[in-house]
Structure 1
Amino acid sequence: MPNGITAIANRKPLSGLASSDTTPFDAAVLPIVTPLRIGDLVVDPPILQAPMAGYTNYAFRQIVRAYGGAGLLATEMVNARGFIWMDREQAEHPDRLWGVADEPRPLAVQIWDNDPETLAAVGARLTHEYKVSVVDINFGCPVRQVTEKAHSGSYLLRTPDRMGQIIERVVAACHPTPVTAKTRLGCSRDKINIIDVAQIVEGAGAAALTVHGRTAADMFRGQASWDLISTIKPHLKRIPLIGNGDLDTAEKVVEAFRRWNVDGVMIARASLGKPWLFQQAAAALRGEPIPPDPTLEEERELMVEHFRLVCERFGEERGAVLMRKFACCYAQGRPGAREFRKHVVGIETAAEFFDVVEQWFPRSVV
């Protein structure tokens, strides 16, 4: 693990601060949280890192893993049909599987398509060749390229029976590795069918269900409906329910377990700019002081290490382009973030990246 990341991750909480960010939760109001079981896999703590296309690559996972707190990490979603094509053409397997073969477990790989046989073939490869811990099937992506063009992701919420057929086939191909499903509440607010979907997912043999508290039509607008997520649990007989959506603080993670009927939570977009959020959430669930955010200087050091990891894989030119979006995430919510974004989105070389970071990344005010 990179030394710079480890040093920041191991930093102890600051003492003597009145901020709630470093104050332990009252044990009397803490929810009772037990390890999550996905088939034979024990996920402890029951806090999962969401698969996010274009973001949750090996470099990002290295950073999350160094901080700790995520019980299960996940890759970006992998196009099953593209995987098969690359395999047939004897090309290198997708970049989205970068690091998967050798990195620590547990690790989930998410796949997407609408054909049961294609998904089963890829799931079997991931299970028996890559030996992943979980194969997750994406039924929640709302992006047009996946839905309308490929009739996959959240498009399949229109045909729950098809979802069941896919899961059954992938479960059979991946045995004994558990297969899970990630989905949304429905296609739109007037077509919420998550209860029916949940029962089909369980009946088809999935080992867990993750539900994002928005519909496909919502995309990422508005607020996630945790009250609707909580209505699902009574309809599941044997598999755990994992809730996802708008978890951007440790306090919200504790509240999700306390108020809503879930067995686990999945943190997504908020972690892109705060990969230490899992560590903070895990501490909060244990009733311990929440580790503080890194200082801006430490965050700058972390971002530079992230860039180095990306360049090791993709080279300087492509690494610089890929790092643009990650750098924007790190600056989000900081004073001067807009000016930093304006400059960093145009970087093309390592020298330009370091120059922009030095000149424009926000600095602590003394």
Structure 2
Amino acid sequence: MQKHPVRIGSVELEDFPLLLAPMEDVSDPPFRAVCKEQGADLVYTEFIPADGLIRHADKAVQKLDIYDYERPIGVQIFGSEIESMREAARIVEAAQPEILDINYGCPVKKVACKGAGAGLLKDIDKMQHITAEIVKQVQLPVTVKTRLGWDEQSIRIVEVALRLQEAGIKALTIHGRTRVQMYKGEANWEPIAQVKQHPDIEIPIFGNGDIDSPQKALEYRQKYGVDGIMIGRAAIGYPWIFREIKHYFKTGELLPPPSLEERLRVCLKHLRFAVEWKGERKAVFEMRRHYTNYFKGFSHFKHFRTRLVEAGSLAEVEDILAEIEHFYTHEQAPFENSPS
């Protein structure tokens, strides 16, 4: 494969970068830290409501926290009104990320049905206008994440890509589903390839959707010709997906799964940083979605998983993780049997 850097405005990434998707209540600084450690080339914040930034809402402002080790980083915003999006863009620029990303893909009802996120796929003129205004407002490179269309009958992603490029964006990530699909069914990358192959497209095109293994990452890289891949759900509780894909690209070989010691180390690092960043109660609660994948494939894990999900304090989780270490070190080989 020919190697060449991917450029997003002034940001230079390595050949075929792997991006961490912006995921609500997931892509926070603690999670970004472990994904960066495991090879993510570009990470994005959780998506931030423009209205929340303008009102200086604590939850929205906290999402602007950026740490030097996670650079380059993109801050993602969403909204439906030009003025509020323009003002939010000014606030984001002051936080000094490398990239400002606009969310035109969120499918959840409270966002899309209020004319933001994927809702703007119903009004491409407005989408282009908002984008152009934000590009004028900031010096940062502006990127967009979107979906194929609102539904199967309204897929106009090639037109959307061309118009967003005309508005001045420096890269585009496309999730291979419509808004109506939500996260169901299989992601369709054929329209993403059509965008990438269009002779007038000059910006990097990143694909997103269903990449959950090194084999699939390589297959989609070769089949659809995108400039890089954005990974979302497959990274939750399993940041090693980034290093595994990179190793497979370079060698054609699959890395062995991370050891028990490494899983415990990374899980604890993630948890303790989360407690420090967002407080113990919220951190312990939100870590629940990660535990299954942190110990993916471990035999006889159901009992521990139930206890981890029910745990209410950092000390309680730490005690359970110590029990897990003892159990799989002295009593049970982690991968001896099929996952429970």
**Runs of 4+ in structure 1 over 6 Å off:** none
Does residue 1:197 correspond to 2:156, yes or no?
no
Q: Alignment partner of 1:137: what SS? A: strand
Identity %: 34
Counterpart in the other structure of 2:331 = none
Residue identity in the other structure for 2:127: M
**1:336–1:77 Cα change, 3 Å:** farther
Unmatched 5+ stretches in structure 2: 329-333
Residue identity in the other structure for 1:137: I
Q: Residue 139 of structure 1: which of 104, 108, 120 is its match?
A: 104
Q: Alignment partner of 1:169: what SS? A: helix
Q: Distance in 1 between matches of 2:181 and 2:149?
A: 10
Offset, 1:36: 1.3
What TM-score results when the alignment is normalised by the length of structure 2?
Answer: 0.89
Unmatched 5+ stretches in structure 1: 1-30
Cα deviations by residue, 1:319-359 (Å, 9 ceiling, x for unpaired): 21122222234244543454444332222112322344345
Is this contact kept in 1: 2:64–2:92, CA < 8 A? no
Offset, 1:232: 1.3
**1:65–1:101 Cα change, 3 Å:** closer
The higher relative CO (CA closer than 8 Å, separation ≥ 6) is in 1
Q: Residue 225 of structure 1: which of 183, 188, 198 is its match?
A: 188
The answer to which of 132-141 and 292-301 deviates more is: 292-301
Give the number of equivalent residue pairs. Answer: 328
Counterpart in the other structure of 2:149 = 186
Q: Residue 349 of structure 1: which of 310, 313, 319 is its match?
A: 313
Residue identity in the other structure for 1:109: V
What TM-score results when the alignment is normalised by the length of structure 1?
Answer: 0.83
The answer to which of 280-289 and 215-224 deviates more is: 280-289
Does residue 1:293 correspond to 2:263, yes or no?
no
**1:103–1:295 Cα change, 3 Å:** closer
Counterpart in the other structure of 1:51 = 22
Residue identity in the other structure for 2:44: A
Q: Alignment partner of 2:152: what SS? A: coil
Does residue 1:106 correspond to 2:106, yes or no?
no
Q: Alignment partner of 1:345: what SS? A: helix
Offset, 1:159: 0.5
Cα deviations by residue, 1:85-133 (Å, 9 ceiling, x for unpaired): 116xxx58533223x1644421111111011221222222222x22111
Q: Distance in 1 between matches of 2:178 and 2:301?
A: 30
Report matched runs for 1:175-324 at 5 Å.
Answer: 175=139, 177-235=140-198, 236-287=200-251, 289-324=253-288
Counterpart in the other structure of 1:22 = none
The answer to which of 102-111 and 51-60 deviates more is: 102-111
Q: Alignment partner of 2:95: what SS? A: coil
Is this contact kept in 1: 2:236–2:289, CA < 8 A? no
Offset, 1:137: 0.3
Is this contact kept in 1: 2:150–2:178, CA < 8 A? yes
Offset, 1:168: 0.2
Cα deviations by residue, 1:3-37 (Å, 9 ceiling, x for unpaired): xxxxxxxxxxxxxxxxxxxxxxxxxxxx4343211
Q: Alignment partner of 2:127: what SS? A: helix
Cα deviations by residue, 1:48-101 (Å, 9 ceiling, x for unpaired): 111111101100111112222x221111111111011116xxx58533223x16
Does residue 1:71 correspond to 2:50, yes or no?
no
Does residue 1:327 correspond to 2:297, yes or no?
no
Is this contact kept in 1: 2:53–2:91, CA < 8 A? no
Offset, 1:188: 1.2
Q: Distance in 1 between matches of 2:101 and 2:251?
A: 31
Is this contact kept in 2: 1:137–1:182, CA < 8 A? yes
Offset, 1:261: 2.5
Q: Distance in 1 between matches of 2:4 and 2:106?
A: 29
Q: Distance in 2 between matches of 1:254 and 1:283?
A: 11
Q: Distance in 2 between matches of 1:339 and 1:192?
A: 45
Q: Distance in 1 between matches of 2:48 and 2:256?
A: 34
**1:118–1:336 Cα change, 3 Å:** farther
Is this contact kept in 2: 1:183–1:212, CA < 8 A? yes
Is this contact kept in 2: 1:231–1:261, CA < 8 A? no
